[in-house]
Amino acid sequence: MSKEKALKIINEYLAKQQPKKLELSKIDDLLNWSKGGDSDPFGELADLVQLANKLENKLYNKMQDVESKQKESFKLRQMAKELGADKLLNTLDSADKLLSVKIKNIRSVIKLMQRATQSNI
């Protein structure tokens, strides 16, 4: 095959090929997206920490409510003793045990949440 014929075949082949375009706008879009907040997983982590802090505050409020009920139970126990109402004392004992378990559970959940938000990733 002669040089001219080979060049002709190559030129015909190249003429049939579609020119490839590099769309610079897509590169800019990709760069902007990767810089943006949508691609940052630490944004979700910050949201999670905020949520955990809000929930922790709710748990502290619940614990205060339970502690208030314990004080109320103590006063009722005093009144029941004065009246000699032994059956009421048994009921109050059951309520006190449940309140103590609630406080223990709330403290456990608070500790778990604190560990989760303070641990290193």
Averaged over 104-118, what is the pLDDT?
89
pLDDT mean across residues, the chain = 84
Structure confidence by residue, pLDDT tens digits, 112-121 = 888 877 865 5
11 has pLDDT over 80: no
- CA 96, 97, 98: angle at the middle one, nearest 5? 90
Buried b (16+ CB within 10 A) or exposed e, 104-121: eebeeebeebeeeeeeee
Distances (CA, A) of 87 to 32, 41, 47, 98: 72, 58, 50, 17
**Predicted local confidence at residue 120, as pLDDT:** 55
| Percentage of the chain modeled with pLDDT above 70 | 89
Structure confidence by residue, pLDDT tens digits, 44-82 = 778 888 888 899 999 999 999 999 999 999 999 999 888
pLDDT tier at 39, thresholds 50, 70, 90: low
Kind plus residue range of the DSSP H or E element containing 31: helix 24-35
**Predicted local confidence at residue 104, as pLDDT:** 96
